[in-house]
């Protein structure tokens, strides 16, 4: 048996197929890979010495070839409402954030997929920071393992982290190559074993990758819509200039086809005072979603320094919600959690260095130059 010559690989970065392939290279049976995954993800073990059903020789070889490397904690905060935020190191001088939101019936972990974000949405603190780099699969999965470990409890029976949402820093579908294996590990019975409805990718609308996601893995999708017309969405979510609403809604319509009867997309809609929150916007939104398996989640805007926006007043959010409900669209309003520790949606800023500000905002709107901006994934 030969041990891979290169530097130790972090096992958090390998999904089952990749780990089995490594084991095959080492002359080991596939079930050994499954056993190792069980130790890590079902029992919370990060020490090869504790993997008691694996022979001593193999354990020694594993310890040479691999590491099980949790993230390095920089800071930890707990909100008055029980929400917890961890800031962890993402390379020299950089940091990402992971947030745990406990509720009566579930524990939701909100994870980051990139250091910063290039999508430049005008109401988002992460977007305001610009983009530095993609996280690796290992860095994505390590956030989940670390949170589960830190929160305590038995990995197998307690399920303190019952739901995982890609709603932290970054645009997950802009980092598809690293996010896909992470999704597989979250959903795999030998991995975290979460059910497909409890793992949610949230996207600003990268159409080609919505289509690929549908083909590659079965998980829940949240779509950050925020505006019911191209003119407004071009301003709020500039990627709309590349993938306008007609294409986006078509990709969304296709996403649930062939899935089970309960499959739907959650459309997220941030409530910005005087910008996208009028009764007419609500009626336009209802028309856009008519006939689709859709739920709407209204997110009261969370302010951050230097923002030009304000949160819509509660009564306007209620009126907006009532209009959608009158059209039989299931509508919920997200309870703001963890805002006292800057852990609420859109407040995650981490520490982003050597960033490039990709100026999506400079892409001409589609109606001006239809050819120029289309078709680049
Ligand atoms: N990039 C992905 C996932 C991360 S953002 C996406 O955009 O979907 C997670 C959610 O928080 C998105 O719906 C996003 O639009 C929303 N959000 C961003 N900034 C916000 C803010 N300041 N207040 C409330 N929600 C915000
Ligand atoms: Fe990126 Fe999402 Fe923020 Fe837009 S809302 S800038 S896509 S993290």
The span from the CA of 48 to the CA of 31, in Å, is: 16
Q: Which atom number of ligand 1 is nearest to the Cα of residue 302?
A: 23
Catalytic residue among 124, 219, 252, 345: 345
Contact 113, 369 (CB under 8 A): no
Distance 39 CA to ligand 2 centre (A): 35
Assign residue 361 a region (left: φ > 0; alpha: ψ between -120 and 50; beta: otherwise): alpha
Distance 319 CA to ligand 1 centre (A): 22
For position 364, what pLDDT does the model report? 52
**Has 345 been annotated as catalytic?**
yes
Contact 245, 229 (CB under 8 A): yes
Catalytic residue among 97, 139, 171, 178: 97
Question: Ligand 1: residues whose CB is within 6 Å?
Answer: 117, 121, 123-125, 166-167, 171, 202-204, 224, 268, 270, 299, 301-302, 345-346
**Has 121 been annotated as catalytic?**
no
Which ligand has its closest atom nearest to the C-alpha of 224?
1
Per-residue H/E/C for the chain: CCCCCCCCEEHHHCCHHHHHHHHHHCCCCHHHHHHHHHHHHHCCCCCHHHCCCCCHHHHHHHHHHEECCCCCEEEEEECCCCCEEEEEECCCCCEEEEEEEECCCCEEEECCCEEECCCCCCCCHHHHHCEEEECCHHHHHHHHHHHHHHHCCCCCCCCCCCEEEECCCCCHHHHHHHHHHHHHHHHCCCCCCCCHHHEEEEECCCHHHHHHHHHHCCCEEEEECCCCCHHHHHHHCHHHHCCCHHHHHHHHHHHCCCCCCCCCEEEEEEEECCCCCCHHHHHHHHHHHCCCCEEEEEEECCCCCCCCCCECCHHHHHHHHHHHHHCCCEEEECCCCCHHHCCCCCCCCCECCCCECCCHHHCCCCCCCCCCCCCCC
Does any ligand 2 atom lie closer than 6 A to the CB of residue 117? yes
Give residue for tokens 């430049």: 120
The reported pTM is: 0.92
- pLDDT by 10s per residue, the chain, length 377: 444 456 799 999 999 999 999 999 999 999 999 999 999 999 999 999 999 999 999 999 999 999 999 999 999 999 999 999 999 999 888 999 999 999 999 999 999 999 999 999 999 999 998 999 999 999 999 999 999 999 998 888 888 999 999 999 999 999 999 999 999 999 999 999 999 999 999 999 999 999 999 999 999 999 999 999 999 999 999 999 999 999 999 999 999 998 988 899 999 999 999 999 999 999 999 999 999 999 999 999 999 988 999 999 999 999 999 999 999 999 999 988 888 888 777 677 777 765 655 555 655 554 433 332 222 22
């Amino acid at each position: 048996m030969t041990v891979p010559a290169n530097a130790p690989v972090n096992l958090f970065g390998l999904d089952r197929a990749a780990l089995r392939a490594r084991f095959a290279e080492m002359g080991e049976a596939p079930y050994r890979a499954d056993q190792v995954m069980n130790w890590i993800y079902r029992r919370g073990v990060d020490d090869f010495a504790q993997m008691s059903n694996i022979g001593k020789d193999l354990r020694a070889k594993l310890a040479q070839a691999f590491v099980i490397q949790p993230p390095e904690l920089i800071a930890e905060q707990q909100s008055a409402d029980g929400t917890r935020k961890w800031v962890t190191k993402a390379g020299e001088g950089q940091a990402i954030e992971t947030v745990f939101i406990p509720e009566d019936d579930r524990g939701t972990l909100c994870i980051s997929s990139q250091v910063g974000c290039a999508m430049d949405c005008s109401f988002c603190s992460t977007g305001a920071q610009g983009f530095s780099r993609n996280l690796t699969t290992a860095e994505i999965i390590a956030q989940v393992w670390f949170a589960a470990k830190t929160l305590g409890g038995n990995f197998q029976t307690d399920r303190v982290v019952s739901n995982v949402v890609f709603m932290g820093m970054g645009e997950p579908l802009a980092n598809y190559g690293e996010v896909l294996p992470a999704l597989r590990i979250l959903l795999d019975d030998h991995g975290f074993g979460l059910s497909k409805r409890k793992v949610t990718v949230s996207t600003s609308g990268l159409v080609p990758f919505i289509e690929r996601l549908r083909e590659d893995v079965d998980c829940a999708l949240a779509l950050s819509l925020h505006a019911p017309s191209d003119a407004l969405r071009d301003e709020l979510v500039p990627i709309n200039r590349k993938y306008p609403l007609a294409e986006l809604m078509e990709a969304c319509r296709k996403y649930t086809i062939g899935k089970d009867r309960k499959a739907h997309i959650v459309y997220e809609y941030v409530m910005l005072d005087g910008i996208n929150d009028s009764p007419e916007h609500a009626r336009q939104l209802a028309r856009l979603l008519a006939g689709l398996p859709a739920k709407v989640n209204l997110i009261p805007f969370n302010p951050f320094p230097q923002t030009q926006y304000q949160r819509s007043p509660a009564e306007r959010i209620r009126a907006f919600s009532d209009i959608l409900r009158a059209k039989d669209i299931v509508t919920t309003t997200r309870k703001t959690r963890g805002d006292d520790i800057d852990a609420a949606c859109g407040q995650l800023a981490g520490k982003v260095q050597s960033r490039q500000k990709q100026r999506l905002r400079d892409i001409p709107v589609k109606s001006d130059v239809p050819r120029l901006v289309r078709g680049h994934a």
